[in-house]
Amino acid sequence: MKIPRDISGKNLSKKLEEYGYNITRQKGSHLRLTKISKEGKHNITIPQHKNLKIGTLNNILKDVSEFIGISRDELMRKIF
């Protein structure tokens, strides 16, 4: 599955809230999302840009998928 090129940081943060991530702080144009589970605490930072760069989005998806224990492609299918 191809990575979408038109997703904003705000949109991505809303989609990740379905997986238990909550906005814990904002500094400038960056959001910090945190998920606390039995495996531990996981933080990710998402820039609030209109369109996220492909590499940035790919790294965020990879990081989240590793923490929740599913493949990046499976996470992309569920989110997008």
pLDDT, tens only, 49-68: 999 999 999 999 999 999 99
Residue 4 included in any domain: no
The pLDDT of residue 62: 97
Number of structural domains the chain divides into = 1
By the 10 Å C-beta count (0-12 exposed, 13-18 middle, 19+ buried), 60 is classed as buried
pLDDT, tens only, 13-41: 999 999 999 999 999 999 999 999 998 99
Whole-prediction pTM value?
0.93
Residue 1 included in any domain: no
The CATH number linked to 41 is: 3.30.920.30
In this predicted structure, the answer to whether residue 1 has a pLDDT above a threshold of 90 is no
The pLDDT of residue 68: 94
Residue 59: CB atoms within 10 A of its CB come to 12
Residue 34 included in any domain: yes
In terms of residue numbers, what domain contains 38? Answer: 9-79
The pLDDT of residue 55: 96
